[in-house]
Amino acid sequence: MLAYIAPSGSRFKSTRCVPRQTIVMDRENLEEKETARMEAFSDGVFAFAITLLALNLRDPATSGVSLSQGLIDEWPSFFAFVTSFITVLIMWMNHHNMFNYIRRIDRRLMLLNGLLLLFVVLTVFTTALVAAHIQLGDAGVAAAAYAGTFFATSLVWNGLWRYCARGHRLLGKAVTDEAAKTITRQYSIAPLSYGAALVIAPYSALVSVAVILAVAAFFGITATIGD
């Protein structure tokens, strides 16, 4: 289509000939920019949560206790820290991979993503509970709170993905139906596994935490070998 060029000095300019392709490209660029903003905010929250985990660590040397003995006595804190650090790291990797498929956002997605980040940060608190009570009589309660947090996180995670994937609502054009279904099946493993950890927690806190680690290992592998 030929654009009308107004004579020099004319007040009037044609607005009828703006290429439709340019409008579509501008809209796509805006949508990608908004998606990148939300992903950057999420990255910041994940980094903040990982940083907070380290605040549960302290100098184990106290009056009457040597540093070496203090380090041995503090093994629950180190164990909980390493477990949660790896788990949050893997969640961040999968969150990043998930947003490689999500190309648009809306207010409902922003709300779901915010709720997901709430449970990610809550992991810091439940990690402290496990570290403080794993050797006590109420270790099962602490492990249940820990597993419950991951169970709730997995439910929100699955809800977020299914909302985006239903009818390709917010996915990129290059994402195939088969790819979306494969990801949905992978994500469905988390609620089942974390639910099992929640059921096991009152009977064996260590086994419950071990199940959570096994789930983290599975999603760490899928996040690494994924496209």
Q: Could you list the mean pLDDT of each consecutive 10-residue stretch along the chain, which spans 227 residues?
A: 47 50 51 74 88 73 69 74 83 88 87 93 84 81 92 94 88 85 90 94 90 88 71
Q: Measure the CA–CA gap between 198 and 201, rounded to whole angstroms.
A: 5
Burial of 26 (C-beta count, 10 Å sphere; 0-12/13-18/19+)? exposed
Q: Residue 85 carries which side chain, given as an amino acid letter? A: F
| Confidence (pLDDT) at 53 | 77
Range of the domain at 116: 76-225
Is residue 107 assigned to a domain? yes
Is residue 152 assigned to a domain? yes
Query: In angstroms, what CA-CA distances link 10 with 6, 7, 205?
Result: 6, 6, 80
| Confidence (pLDDT) at 70 | 67
Is residue 126 assigned to a domain? yes
| 3-state SS, residue 102 | strand
Q: Dihedral of the CA atoms 214, 81, 129, 59 (nearest 10)?
A: 160
| Confidence (pLDDT) at 63 | 59
The pair of three-digit structure tokens given for residue 43, joined into one six-digit string: 């990255």
If one counts the domains in the chain, the total is: 1
What phi and psi, each to the nearest 5 degrees, are found at residue 65?
-125, 125
Distance between first and last Cα of the chain = 40
CA 56, 58, 59 angle in degrees (round to 5)?
Answer: 170
Instruction: Report long-range pairs for 131-137 (Cβ below 8 Å, ≥24 apart).
Output: 131/56, 131/76, 131/77, 131/79, 131/80, 131/81, 132/76, 134/76, 134/79, 134/80, 134/205, 134/206, 134/209, 135/76
Is residue 209 assigned to a domain? yes
Is residue 170 assigned to a domain? yes
Is residue 19 assigned to a domain? no
